[in-house]
Amino acid sequence: MARLFGTDGVRGRANDQLTAELALALASAAVRVLGANARSRPRVVVGRDPRASGELLEAALCAGLAAAGADAIRVGVVPTPAVAFLTADYRADFGVMISASHNPMPDNGIKFFAAGGHKLPDDVEDEIEAAMHADQPRPTGAGVGRIRDAQDAAERYLAHLAESVPTSLDGLTLVVDCAHGAASHVAPRAYEAAGAKVIAIHAEPDGLNINDGCGSTHMDKLRAAVLEYGADLGLAHDGDADRCLAVDSTGSVVDGDRIMAILALAMHEAGHLTDGVLVATVMSNLGLHLAMKSAGIELKVTGVGDRYVLEELRSGGYALGGEQSGHIVVPAVGTTGDGVLTGLMLAARVAQTGQRLADLAGVMTVLPQELINVPVSDKHAVAVAEEVLSAVAAAESELDGCGRILLRPSGTEQLVRVMVEAQTPESARGIAERVAAVVAGV
């Protein structure tokens, strides 16, 4: 049987694979596992992004929590990192976020945070899945949990952001793409509170338009808006605002690797980069490795997924890590990737130095990279098929040490990702297309 939890929680098409019944069962099981050591009745923070199906799943989750004897604290539509922060700030036993992040609207997902706002390790997720199949007595009477709405959740999160980045953004003009998602109400307020002039786009969620041709997975409209308004930079969030990508004043995209390079150098310069270490995943461009080596910064590499970056950060006590996709984690001020915090820190670096974002990003030369997502019926079987492994070996031989190929199953979808870096865009594209064709044919 396939594992229920993927790279980032439980995801699926809402009301199809991810049903109200599944959400209810997950919530009750999570109370038995994550609330087992609660000193009194477990308290659980519940947030969501604006997807229409989030309303249904929120109701089911809260019912499951109450049925298992836990109190649900509904914080409404807020970013995923806000749920992580509020789980700690409200001293809850755990938190739940209902979101499918950058996925299209029909999908949804359920992510859990342990006490303190930390993501769960695999073994704890497995415990929750096992608990779903175990019969447990249910409380009655006064033992049934209660459900209440938190009135100050967004204000608490905004105050946390303001305290985390004290540098004023006065004089900067920002275009912020909110992806019609969870950032729509809080992100513009956070940047304005820091002193920036903010032009918000795609900040009118209607439950159906999240990530629809906008946000961090569709950057063209943000690039056009930055040029139209003559902004200093643009910031793009995804549906649940745990990631941030940027656009410089020339309209060029600044990805997560370059953002990490900029922040790593800033923290290293200030003496805040613990042991001179940056943590990234295997998907980060070779250019990041070279730039960090040149700056005397060690790059530690993990598997794909911000949870694995988080594990490495926590085990080593490191100060900065992230992914090319724009999940950036700064443990001193957050327990998980926070796109709005990343945007504030990046804009603050522009304000501090007086340099254009394009100049700051120039510290890193990006090796041409091609990424092809290949839909398959069984991503794990295809990734290890003999003909696929032979194609990868042939590609490595062709690259001859002057690039690399990475093939991996998606953590959230039935896709196999083929990523190639080479000396030229044409070479990267050609090799990636040949390997992708083999993958598709299995």
The model's pLDDT over 13-61, given as tens digits with 9 standing for 90+, comes to 999 999 999 999 999 999 999 998 888 899 999 999 999 999 999 999 9
Residues 6+ apart with CB under 8 A from 108: 11, 12, 13, 14, 18, 51, 53, 54, 57, 98, 99, 100
**Distance between CA atoms of 145 and 28, rounded to whole angstroms?**
11
- Please say if 101 is a catalytic residue: yes
Q: What is the pLDDT of residues 139-190, one digit of tens each?
A: 999 999 999 999 999 999 999 999 998 799 999 999 999 999 999 999 999 9
Annotated binding site for Mg(2+): 101, 238, 240, 242
HSE-CB at 191 with a 13 A cutoff on CA atoms is 31
Its pTM stands at 0.89
For residue 322, give every residue at least 6 positions away whose Cβ sits within 8 Å of its Cβ, in sequence order, or none: 256, 259, 260, 279, 280, 306, 309, 328, 329, 337
Question: Taking the domains of the chain in order of start, what are their residue ranges?
Answer: 10-152, 169-361, 369-441
The residues pairing with 372 across neighbouring beta strands, listed in sequence order, are 418
- Say if residues 404 and 421 touch (Cβ distance below 8 Å): yes
Beta bridge partners, 76, equal 47
Looking at 3.40.120.10, 2.70.98.10, 3.40.50.300, 3.40.190.80, the CATH number of the domain 169-361 comes to 3.40.120.10
Whether the CB-CB separation of 74 and 150 falls below 8 Å is answered with yes
User: Which residues are known binding-site members?
Assistant: 101, 238, 240, 242
Helices (H), 68-173: 80-89, 122-131, 153-164
Q: Do domains 10-152 and 369-441 have the same CATH topology?
A: no
Which pair of structure tokens corresponds to residue 84? 């992580």
Question: pLDDT tens for residues 361-419?
Answer: 999 988 898 999 999 989 999 999 999 999 999 999 999 878 889 998 887 788 999 99
Q: Which of 101, 184, 216, 249 is catalytic?
A: 101
Q: How much is the average pLDDT of 237-248? A: 97
The CATH superfamily of 10-152 is: Alpha-D-Glucose-1,6-Bisphosphate, subunit A, domain 3 (3.40.120.10)
Report the topology of domain 369-441. Answer: TATA-Binding Protein (3.30.310)
For the stretch 405-414, pLDDT in tens is 999 888 778 8
Cα distance between residue 355 and residue 321, in whole Å: 23
Which among 117, 108, 101, 124 has a CA at the least distance from the CA of 44? 117
